[in-house]
Every structure is written in C-alpha cells, then in structure tokens.
C-alpha cells in the first residue's frame, strides 16, 4: 500500500514538474517567488486575527496570540520527523527535470514538507480564532502546500502529510492552552497600559452599555 502511494506520488510529481519546466522562465520564477510569499500571507493573517480578536472576547484573543507559537511548535515537530525519515527530494532524485526552485543540497530532506506543515498549522490555529474566514484560510494553506510540488522540491505525499501534521499539532497545542491563555488575557486586560493590546475600545464601550442596561433593568 505504502509502496503504491509513493509510486503514484512520484509519478504525479514528475508530471507536474515536467509541465512547469515547459513554461516561460518568467512563470517559473513567479512560482518560485510565490511559494515564499504565500507564507507572508499567514503572517498578515496572524496580525489581522489578533486585531479583530480584541473586539471579541478573551478566549479569542488568547487563541489569536497563540497561533504563531502553535505554528512554530508544529514546524519543530515536522523538522524532527523530517530528520528521522531522511527522504530524498524529487529534485534530487529526478535530475533530468528542470525545477522552478533551486534544489536544496543533499541532507536537506523532503518528508514531510516544512512549508506545508507551517501552512497547515497556521490555517488550523487561525481557524480556531477566526472561523468566519475558514474557507479563505484553508485555500491559502492548500495553495502553499501544492506550490512546493509545483516548484519541484516536494512530492505530493510530502505536502499532504505536512498539512495534516501541522494542523493536528497546532490544534492540539491551541486547545490545550486555550483556558490558561484566557485567564492570562483577562489579567492583562486589568492592567491599564496593557489593556489596548488585548481589548479594543469598542469592546469596552459595548461592555459598558450592557452593564448600564443591566443596572437600569428593574429586579
């Protein structure tokens, strides 16, 4: 079963890389640049998620702040697995093909894809804090993962496992730390100078209006 999966994955990788190799060099450069820039999208989403969370509640703020940390932890797990498996990259195995990205040196292993793990972890952690744009986040994660196949540095099974591994680790880390982080955010909100970092003025106004309404309501 595993042998068959690896065979199919290798065939798909050869087909994709071969097709990209026939494109204009400008397109190949764009693919190579895009696979790195897509990671920058997640950095922007981390900031946007934190900024939005300030107007929601303490738990959401905690999840938003934890998202980059959970992603780093997922990356470290992926890197550990990569070193243990030590699988050769497709650009190293299929030397007859021209890849869009420069092939990493020998010893820089393929399985799982760290880029895909980062994308999967970022997506999972962000979705926990910002479910409304879950579809958009998931699309960016899949694009990042597939781009690594397109530029010839990973097999399809590398990026598939990377996505799933990253998402699993980030989800477990986020859910495990959600409660203590919520308490931490509440404590930060009680400090005047730090309050703007975890609670927006709009959220304060809304909370104040609710308190006033509750006070004016007869018992």
Residues counted in the chain: 219
pTM tops 0.85, yes or no: yes
The gap from C-alpha 39 to its chain's centroid, in whole angstroms, comes to: 8
Q: Which pLDDT tens digit goes with each residue over 48-80? A: 999 999 999 999 999 999 999 999 999 999 999
Cis peptide before 94 (omega within 30 of 0): no
- Percent of the chain at pLDDT > 90 equals 60
Q: Where are the alpha helices (DSSP H) in the chain?
A: 2-21, 25-53, 58-85, 90-93, 114-129, 134-150, 156-189, 195-198, 201-216
Structure tokens at 70: 């959970």
pLDDT of residue 217: 52
Long-range contacts of 3-10, Cβ-Cβ distance < 8 Å, separation of 24 or more: 5/157, 6/155, 6/157, 9/155, 9/156, 9/157, 9/158, 10/90, 10/93, 10/155
Angle at 44 between CA 39 and CA 50, to 5 degrees: 130
Cα separation, 147 vs 166, in Å, equals 17
Is the pLDDT at 203 greater than 90, yes or no? no
Of residues 114 and 5, more confidence is placed in: 114
């Amino acid at each position: 079963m595993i042998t068959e999966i690896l065979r199919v994955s290798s065939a798909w990788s050869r087909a994709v890389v071969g097709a990209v190799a026939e494109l204009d060099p400008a397109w190949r450069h764009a693919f190579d640049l895009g696979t790195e820039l897509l990671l920058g999208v997640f950095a922007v989403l981390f900031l946007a998620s934190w900024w939005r969370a300030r107007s929601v509640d303490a738990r959401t703020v905690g999840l938003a702040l934890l998202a980059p940390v959970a992603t780093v932890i997922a990356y470290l797990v992926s890197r550990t697995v990569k070193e243990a498996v030590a699988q050769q990259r497709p650009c190293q195995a299929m030397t007859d093909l021209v890849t869009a990205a420069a092939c990493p040196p020998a010893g820089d292993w393929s399985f799982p894809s760290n880029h895909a793990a980062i994308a999967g972890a970022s997506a999972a952690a962000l979705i926990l804090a910002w479910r409304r744009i879950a579809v958009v986040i998931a699309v960016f994660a899949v694009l990042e993962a597939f781009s690594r196949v397109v530029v010839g540095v990973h097999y399809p099974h590398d990026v598939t496992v990377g996505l799933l591994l990253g998402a699993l680790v980030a989800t477990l880390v986020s859910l495990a730390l959600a409660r203590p982080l919520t308490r931490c955010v509440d404590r930060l909100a009680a400090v005047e100078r730090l309050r703007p970092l975890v609670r927006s003025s709009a959220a304060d106004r809304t909370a104040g209006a609710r308190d006033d309404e509750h006070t004016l309501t007869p018992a």
